[in-house]
Chain A
Amino acid sequence: MDIFLNALWDILQPASVMLMFLGVAVGIVFGSIPGLSAAMAIALFLPITFTMGPNAGMTLLVSLYIGAISGGLISAVLLNIPGTPSSIATCFDGAPMARQGEAGKALGVGIVFSFLGGLLAFTALIFIAPPLAKFTLRFSPIEYFAITVFALTMIASLASGSMVKGLLSGMIGLLLATVGVSPIDGARRFTLDIDNLTSGFDLLPYLIGLFAITEVLIAAEQFSADKHVEPLALKKIKGFGFTLAEFFAQKWNLLRSSLIGLFIGILPGIGGSTSSILAYIAAKKQSKYPEKFGTGIMDGVVASESANNATIGGALIPLLALGIPGDGVTAMMLGGFLIHGLTPGPLLFKTSAEFVYGIFAACLVANMIMLILEFFGLRIYIKLLKVPKYILLPIIVVMCVVGAFSVNNRMFDAESILLFGLIGYLMYKAKLPLAPAVLSFILCPLIETNLRRGLMLTEGSFLAFFAKPIALFFLVTAIVALIVPLVRTFRSHRAKAAGTTKTPVG
């Protein structure tokens, strides 16, 4: 507890609070403007954290993450377009509320319940992560290998759409991650005698290219179509726009949705968009008036917004306790740790406890700042929604190029973001999800190092990996997670084929 209070005190210093205000404010801007995302905000700011200490750097990243996820609700309510995928379900009732002249109330509800969902999840994070880290301290490279493979498989199979495509996307990350010097024995691999490739592709240009440049190229497809939508006007509201009675009527909805968000966040590969939709469906099923959902009631906004913010706390649990990111954004947070020479995981709780608790404190304070900024700065954010994307995106591109260049002060990194942006765009056209490619790129060295260390321990026997109960559990789960969807796809293809051969006859 003392460590936490000390960390909280450090976080509450003026410089740190100012940094968090900046992070949350920028995060909200990225979250509220459709086409800009939390991942893009973090990709853009990762190189900037390079010049800061690890505490300040991570504080900024956490603030961006919290701001961006909650900022999505602004455009979801006022434009009926989710600013981030996490706010999809907010549109269902938030937008109808706005059309009925209740935009202020919808935003007020969204802001307060985003805050409360986040608060519940961050409290859970503080209580769950340390004991989990203590438990995983006993893990050998074999267990780590198994968990990493499990995380990768889950992400690929759950990401979206076809599992085979999810896995192929993961393969792209693995292929690119093996370029450079190999772990343990330092052999050069796939460097094509290019000196700049000896140290492999740098993580930051990879993330910036894949997330930011890809988004710009995707946006370019619609440049000529002037689809700018004006946000709805906001009437004057009192407080947050709802009564205490209305607030207390949502207590079970809040608790249920936050728990769904937290749980979904802990599981790798699912993310905020699914959690908000699941919470929305659960709220509708449990409601006494399910027929009113979708017509503009606050219950829908409460479910979606408390769940998507709770997902942040959930996603940070495996990242901090195991060093395994659950989605694209936490993968980038992991990148933030790595550039400061810190490896998240159980050891971090032992060697840099004050740093970990600093992140916990930053989550709580940034959540509070989000509440303040969204309440008082709402009108400014609404104005920002009017800035055309054809002005905004090229400026973001320049910042990406400068950011990539500043990592190692070499042009090669700036050039490589183009390559990764192009790869990301082709992946988008091929309907390959991006998140598995990011996670596998980060996890590949971890998988290879732990596999090779594990094989040294077992004198070259891979079967011995299955003798360890925890490794056995995760490896079997990974295999099941791979086989079940494959069998399902195979069966559905057979059923379709059988159906089509019958149809012409019948």
Chain B
Amino acid sequence: MKYEQLSLIQLDALREIGNIGAGNAATSMSKLIQKKVDMEVPNINIVAFDEVMEMVGGAENLVVGILFEIHGKAPGIVYLLFSLEEAELLVKQMTNDNSMTLYNGEEPNSIAFSALQEAGNILAGSYLSALSDFTNINMQPSIPHLSIDMAGAILTVGLLPISEFTDYAIIINTKMNDVQGEHNGVNGQFLLLPSPESFTKIFQALGIQDDK
């Protein structure tokens, strides 16, 4: 499949997938932090690898990334990304403990890390189950893989399966925003990177495999 040749209807379908997934995840997030959570209209980005890094503030930018492998008929990778501040705020709100930090000095705080992974589980689980219901394709998230590091290092992992085929990635990018705290709320970003072979399956499932 040629990435450059997606039809408008296929792009729309991918956008809708991002919408449905993140909509469901935003509801879960809202329950988790007991605040209203909004989401932005998803972007479908067909981008060179360097541009992927620009989407999250540059390759050197520090991000909190929770990666899930997608198992099932349409494999891929989904990332849930936060800034350090957002992740810390999320953990504070989940644990009801305002003194909670991600690091105790240099050492990672295992309770905070574990809370973050659990949040990832809940959010990615609801994201993927919505996709699964919509497409009727079985998709299961792996366990969460958490890393706090440079965006380039974290996101390359998700690009590797694609990189054997092409130098472009199709990324379904959705942002969630905690409505009350515009300045320092818990905002999260989902990046969905289906494997190249998964697109055909997704489009077939939705009955839009023809490039029209």
- Tell me whether A and B are bound partners: no
Residues of A bordering B, CB below 8 Å: none
Residues of B bordering A, CB below 8 Å: none
